[in-house]
Each structure stands twice: as C-alpha cells, then as structure tokens.
Structure 1
Amino acid sequence: MRALFWTLTLFALAVAFALLAKVNTGTAMIHIPHYFNIEIPLNALVVLIIIAFSLVYFLIRAIVTTVALPTKVKKFHAERKQAEANTAMQDALVAYFEGRHSRAERLASKALTLETKNKARAISALVAAAASDTIKNFGKRDEYLARSELAMEDTQLAKLMTIATLQVKAHQYAEALETIGNAQKIAPKLTSALRLELTARQKLGHHAQIPPLIEQLEKSEAINQPQAERMRRHALANQLADEIRDASQFKRFWNKLDSSLHTDPRLVSVASKKLNEWDDHEQAGDLVTKALETQWDAQLALAYAQPLEGMPNKECLRRIQQAEKWLQQHPGDASLLLTLGRLCKQQQLWGKSKSYLEASLAVADSAVTHIELARLLTQLEEHEEARLHFEAAASAVEEALAEES
C-alpha cells in the first residue's frame, strides 16, 4: 500500500513538473567576469540544482555512514552479547527453580562473563553462589560471593540476605545473626530477615529474644495469630526450662506472664517440674490442679505424679484424693489412671496401684504402663506376670518404631 502511494506521488510530481516546464519559458544567465557567461533555460537550471543537491546529499550520507560504521558494528556486537547474557540468566533461573543446580551455576557463570552492567552481574553472581552452595561446591560459592559487583550499595542487601540464608542452611547460626544484623541496618523491618533471625535464635536457644520477633512478624502479617501464639508459648516454655535457675527468678518470670498462660499445659508442665526440683511440691501440685480444672489435658495429668521419688506423703495423699475426684469426671482417661497407679505405688498402696494400672491398659495399650505394672509386679515378686508385661512393652515399642519407619 505504501509503495503504491509513493508511485502515484512520483507520477503526480512528474506531471506537475512537465506542465510547469511548458508554462515557464524564462532563461537564466550565469556570469563570472573574465571567465564565462552562460545563458540556459530556467527549467534546466532547476533540474541541475536538484541533481547537484541530491549528489551532495548522498555523498554526505555515504561519508557519515562510513565514519559511523565501526560504532554501529560495536553496538551490534554489544547488543548481541547482552541478548546472550539475558538468555543465559533466564535459563539459569529456570534451571535453579527446576532443581538442576549444576546447570544453573554454569549458566549463571556464563551470564556473569557476558554481562556488562554491574547490577546484572551482581544478580548473576548471587544465583551462581546459591546454586554452588546447593551442590556443595563451597569454593566456587565463596568466589562468587567475593565478586566486586556485590560491594555496590544497590546490591549490598541482596548479598547479605543471600549469605545469611546460606549460613542458616549450614547451621552457622551465630554467624548468620551477625550478617542479619548488618542487613537490618539497611532494612530494619525486612520480614525475611526477621524470619531468618527467628530461626537462628530458636536454634541457639535465645528464648528471651524470640517473643519480640514473633510480635514483629505478626504485625507484618508474616505469620497468623494462632501460629504466633503457639510459637510464643513454645519459646516461653523453653525459656522457663533452660534459663530459670531458682525460685525467686521463677516468681518474677511467672508473674510477668499473661494470666491466660498460667494454665497453658506445656508451661505448667515445665513449671511444675522446676518447682518439684526445688522441693516446692505443694505449689507444683497447685499449678497442675488449676490448669487441669480450667481445661483438661491428658498429658498434663501425667505431670501430676511427678516426681515419683521425694514427694512428701502428705502431698502424695492430697494428689491421690484430687486425682480420684477427677476420675469421676474422666473415668476412661488412660493417663489419669496411670497417674493414680504411680501415686498409689509411691504410697505403697499395692492393690490400688495394680488395679489402676490394669485399668489404664484396658483403655489404651501403652509400653510405659506395661513397664510400670511390670516393675510393680516385680516388687510384689510376681515375676512371671512381670515378665509378660516387659515383653508386651517391648512389642509395643517395636510396633511404634515400625510405624515411624
């Protein structure tokens, strides 16, 4: 369509020029003193001027094109090289996410060689480093991470986060915390950095620092409320178990907790164990009693019989009476029956202990209960029956291990 338009235009111009030539009959004189004096038709002069202009124009174009040719060739090669670098980087990313990490490292290295822009080179180096780490080529990984492109301000955070992730993956948690600290100087509220810090502190047992991290992650909606609450309680229980050393320290810790946590089964279980270690059996029993009366928990009921040794007779009898009251409300609870069996055994109430342990086994076959009953029967010198329960316990353990495998 365009060719037809230009053809018609040229024909129209030719017709117009022919008509104009017929009308225009003037002449032009070119006079240079002492040299020549030329008189030519005006139409011929116009044609000569057009031809001269065209020749000069095309000559200049040819010169300019010739001069610019090396630059164009250089630009062409640079564009082709950039296209190859882009293709290599895209293929490297695809290979990395496909799990083909050796190929990803090779392609990212190629992109790093071909790429000319520092920022793109830095990205290529990070991908190559991550791929090298996955295939355990740590020498290459460190070489890529040491690239000068990664020292730029624009890529500093990406470099630090990549290093921190690799350090956590390699269980270098202390080093990871230092790297994360440097990253947080650049981006204090970076969610991914908070996640890595949380993982590192959990592994290192920095339990006191975990709740503030959970609160920040919850505010940024990186974790939901139930998940945050579960993690917070787990951290507090670990802090109580690992960092509280005496009764006065425990009192300060316990009083700072929200009242709703005073009946949390895991926290109460750890707290009662601590109090029993400090021979405060009465307070330990009260904590478990309050928690179980608020919300029944079969696992916490087992803690009511702890410790088996060292508990005063008065406290043991008090717990037996309380547990028997609970049994009226939870008659088929195997854990509560096991607890009663242990408490009665502690008080040398052999008959009651045996009946409770047998009742617990009737509800749920348990290796632990078989062993408790076997030990009781051994004390009562009923060795054959004790042997049968030890064998039953061994069978239960074997079945559990087979299910796990």
Structure 2
Amino acid sequence: MKKKLILLLLAMVGGALLLQLMRSDSGYVLLSWGQVAIEMSIWTALALWLLGFVLFYWGWRLLSGSRRLGRMVFGNRNASVRAQQKTFSALVKYIEGSWPQARKQLVKSAAGSANPLVNYLAAARCAYEQGDFSAALDLLHKAEKSKPGNELAVALTQARMQLDSDRYEQCLATLNRIKRLAPEHPVVLDLLADVYWALDDIDALEELLPSLQSLSGRSTQARKQLELDIYLRQLANLQARRKKGATDQEQKQRLDAIWQRVPKKLQREPELMAAVAMALHGLGVDNEAEPLLQNALQSEWRPEWVELYGLIGADAEQQLKVATRWEKQHDADGAMMATLGRLCGRNELWGKARDYFAQAIEMKPDAQVYLDYAQLLDQLGEPEKSAQLCRQGLNCLAQKKVAAGSEC
C-alpha cells in the first residue's frame, strides 16, 4: 500500500514538472520532404513517436502470435496425420500376422492416434499371439485408461483371449462381470455359450437358450444346431451317469424329463430321435425306441441306425416287414444285410437269416455279425462251422482294436 502511494506521488510530481517544462519551452520539430514541410512542437512529435512505437510493437506481437498459432495448428495436424499413417501401417502388419512389428508400432503411435483404444487393443492381441499374457493384460489396462467408457470393448477382448487359450474359468469370470453391465449384449451371450459348452455345463447353457434365440448374433441355422447339440450332449451325459451307478429307473426319469423339454420342432429331428432311441434301447425300453428309430430312418438314412434297428427287440414280425421294405428302397449294404439276418433269425426264418448274414460278412466284415452268424449255425447243428466263425469274429475284433476302428 505504501509503495503504491509513493509511486502515485512520484507520478504526480513528475507530471507537474513535465507540464511546467512544456509551458516554459514547447520547442519545435520541422519535417521536410520535397516541397512539403511539417512543423510541430517537440512534445507533439514525441507523443506521435510513442504512439507509432506502441502500434508497431503490438502489430509485431500480433504477427508473431499468428505465426506461432499457425505452426501449432498445422504442426499438430501433420503430427496427427503421421500418427494415423503409422497406426494404419501397424494394423496392416497385424492383419498379416507380423505380431512383434505390429505391436511395437501400435504402442509407439498410440499417443498421437485419434483413437488410442484401437491401438492398445490390437497391441494386446499381438502380445497374446506372442504368448506374452502379462504384457497383453498390461496393454488392456492401458486401453481401458485411454478412453473411459469403453470397459465393454476391453473386457470382450480379454474374454476372447482367455477363451482361445482354454482359460475357461477365468473367461467365465470375465463374462459374468461384464454381463452385469450389458446383460443382453449378443457377443457376451455368444461367448458365454462357448464357455459353457467348453466346461460341459450344459444345464447352464440350456438356461441361456431363450436369450440366445432372441438376442444372439448367430444365424437361425446356427442357433438351431446349438439347441440340437445341447440336447444331444445331455443324452450323452445321461449315458455317463449310468456308468456311475444310476439305476435304470432314475435314467428313464431323466430321459423323459429331457425329452419333454425338447421343443416340438426339434423332436422331429432325425439325429435327436435316433439318440433317444439308442438311450431307450440301452435301458431296455425297446417298444418306445422302435417307432422313434423308424421315423428317424424314414427322414435320414444312416447305416449305424439301420444296424441299431436290427438290435431293438420290439415286434419282430412287424420290424421284418419294415426292413424288407427298406431293402427295396435303398442300396444293399452290410448294415442292411446284418439287420435283415437278425430279424429273420428272431422270426425263425433260419435259411434267410443264414443267407443275409453271409452277405453281410462279404460286404462288410464285422465282429458282431460273425458272432451272430456263429450263434445261428450252432442252433442249426453246425458246431464246427460255428466255432470257425467265432474265431474269425474274435480275430476281426482284435484287428479293429489294433487299427483303432478300421475295417477288418
């Protein structure tokens, strides 16, 4: 406060002295240029000079600022263009699978990129492809920090990498976390379906089906196939439970429960009907298995189903009529001949059964057919021929085990 007061007093004294000086002697300045002469007081000239200096100074400042602003704007623009070009070049290498080069360039150009999230996500994938999981995770964290609000994109990238590397439990934890943020996101649902399938958590996958049917990005055919695969896997798991000691009654109850949950449109699928028929046959419920398998074969012809039809013990006479009709409709093969031989044997048509078994072995040697043929000949009183066929059947079975399922 005192300094301001002193400065004010000095300014007042200086002004008074200057005013006194201007009154005592104004002086003059003469400017001459050709025939033009300008005369003014020295104080006016001094004021004009000061005014000109101030105008020049501010004009120079304005010009310099404009130049700096131009360099800043165009320099930043050029830097941004260069960063985008580097990012584009790195993405090309990423597509080509040049993971080390792509990763290095993506990280280097991320700072100047208009969208560094893309750089870090792609770089994280490169690190993953190189087997550097810790670096991939670090780059995912950088991606999340680079642009708040993109947690979903980062988490989906992480989930895909975990799924591809068979880290199913970690992937499931990641997906459950982001499912709370986006419960109806189609990609999240599809990834969850893949994880449940890999973990063989078919019950959880079945619960997810309604959401997958309405929200998944999969095609109609893909969704239908997934639904079919779910019930086929449940039937396969049913067989596994039987091996663990479940009773036939418990198995039948589970089988009926599965079949009741199958939508009507899928109950007409041949593969599913055949799988249920096989499960029923395994439980000894052949009367229910036969019509399902017959319907499956009418829709789709498969040799393994034809062979199963001959093993089902329902109405032998009616089954033989059905199989004889099929013989006329389809090309004869080993499975068809074996089925006809078994059905003829159950109907006590011994001669026909013998001929069909002989044709079946000639077309496609099979251990079970050898043994069925041997049993028939033993009943017909030909023990030597029966024993020979038993040896051939056992030899065929041994060769199949050695060849891992190839024909004899």
Query: What is the TM-score of this pair, normalised by structure 2?
Result: 0.68
Residues 114-193 of structure 1 aligned to structure 2 (within 5 Å): 115=111, 120-147=115-142, 149-150=144-145, 153-193=148-188
Structure 1 residues 319 and 390 mapped into 2: Cα distance closer, same or farther (>3 Å)? farther
The CA deviation string for residues 221-242 of structure 1, in whole angstroms up to 9 with x for no partner, is 7333333223222222212332
Tell me the equivalent position of 2:27: 36
Tell me the equivalent position of 2:387: 381
The 2-side partners of 1:390 and 1:86 are apart by 68
How far 1:165 sits from its partner (Å)?
Answer: 0.3
How far 1:302 sits from its partner (Å)?
Answer: 2.9
Tell me the equivalent position of 1:337: 337
Tell me the equivalent position of 1:92: 90
Question: Which secondary structure does the structure 2 equivalent of 1:171 belong to?
Answer: coil
Structure 1 residues 176 and 345 mapped into 2: Cα distance closer, same or farther (>3 Å)? farther
1:96 and 1:131 in contact (8 A); partners too: yes
The 1-side partners of 2:135 and 2:68 are apart by 38
1:354 and 1:373 in contact (8 A); partners too: no
Tell me the equivalent position of 1:267: 272
Tell me the equivalent position of 1:194: 189
How far 1:74 sits from its partner (Å)?
Answer: 7.6
Tell me the equivalent position of 1:251: 256
The CA deviation string for residues 148-170 of structure 1, in whole angstroms up to 9 with x for no partner, is 84486422111100110001101
The 2-side partners of 1:145 and 1:101 are apart by 16
The 2-side partners of 1:232 and 1:164 are apart by 23
How far 1:323 sits from its partner (Å)?
Answer: 4.0
Tell me the equivalent position of 2:301: 297
Q: Given the alignment of the two structures, is residue 235 of structure 1 paired with residue 240 of structure 2, yes or no? A: no
Question: Which secondary structure does the structure 2 equivalent of 1:340 belong to?
Answer: helix
The 1-side partners of 2:37 and 2:213 are apart by 89
Listed as ranges, the gaps of 5+ residues in structure 2 are 1-21, 39-44, 242-249, 376-385
2:156 and 2:188 in contact (8 A); partners too: yes
How far 1:187 sits from its partner (Å)?
Answer: 2.6
Tell me the equivalent position of 1:285: 290
The CA deviation string for residues 308-333 of structure 1, in whole angstroms up to 9 with x for no partner, is xxx5xxx3735643444433553534
Tell me the equivalent position of 2:99: 101
The 1-side partners of 2:108 and 2:126 are apart by 13
1:345 and 1:376 in contact (8 A); partners too: no
The CA deviation string for residues 104-134 of structure 1, in whole angstroms up to 9 with x for no partner, is 111122224xx068x8444322211100111
Residues 203-218 of structure 1 aligned to structure 2 (within 5 Å): 203-210=198-205, 213=208, 216-218=211-213
The CA deviation string for residues 334-380 of structure 1, in whole angstroms up to 9 with x for no partner, is 34333233455678976544422444567xx54xx444444456662
Tell me the equivalent position of 1:276: 281
Structure 1 residues 388 and 233 mapped into 2: Cα distance closer, same or farther (>3 Å)? closer
Structure 1 residues 147 and 304 mapped into 2: Cα distance closer, same or farther (>3 Å)? same
1:354 and 1:376 in contact (8 A); partners too: no
The 1-side partners of 2:49 and 2:348 are apart by 128
For 1:60, which of 41, 52, 58 is the aligned residue? 58
The 1-side partners of 2:394 and 2:276 are apart by 36
The 2-side partners of 1:342 and 1:288 are apart by 17
Greater mean deviation of Cα atoms: 87-96 or 156-165: 87-96
Tell me the equivalent position of 2:109: 111
2:280 and 2:288 in contact (8 A); partners too: yes
1:371 and 1:390 in contact (8 A); partners too: yes
Question: Which secondary structure does the structure 1 equivalent of 2:184 belong to?
Answer: coil
Structure 1 residues 171 and 124 mapped into 2: Cα distance closer, same or farther (>3 Å)? same
Question: Which secondary structure does the structure 2 equivalent of 1:36 belong to?
Answer: coil
1:210 and 1:232 in contact (8 A); partners too: no
How far 1:92 sits from its partner (Å)?
Answer: 1.8
The 1-side partners of 2:51 and 2:361 are apart by 112
Structure 1 residues 344 and 135 mapped into 2: Cα distance closer, same or farther (>3 Å)? farther
2:193 and 2:205 in contact (8 A); partners too: yes
How far 1:204 sits from its partner (Å)?
Answer: 2.0
How far 1:79 sits from its partner (Å)?
Answer: 5.9
Tell me the equivalent position of 2:5: none
1:150 and 1:156 in contact (8 A); partners too: no
Structure 1 residues 185 and 399 mapped into 2: Cα distance closer, same or farther (>3 Å)? closer
The CA deviation string for residues 272-302 of structure 1, in whole angstroms up to 9 with x for no partner, is 2222233222222232234445x35334333
The CA deviation string for residues 182-215 of structure 1, in whole angstroms up to 9 with x for no partner, is 2233333322222212221222223344456555
Q: Given the alignment of the two structures, is residue 321 of structure 1 paired with residue 320 of structure 2, yes or no? A: yes
Query: What is the TM-score of this pair, normalised by structure 1?
Result: 0.69
Alignment RMSD:
4.5
1:344 and 1:352 in contact (8 A); partners too: yes
The 2-side partners of 1:257 and 1:175 are apart by 31
Q: How high is the sequence identity, in percent, across the aligned residues?
A: 17
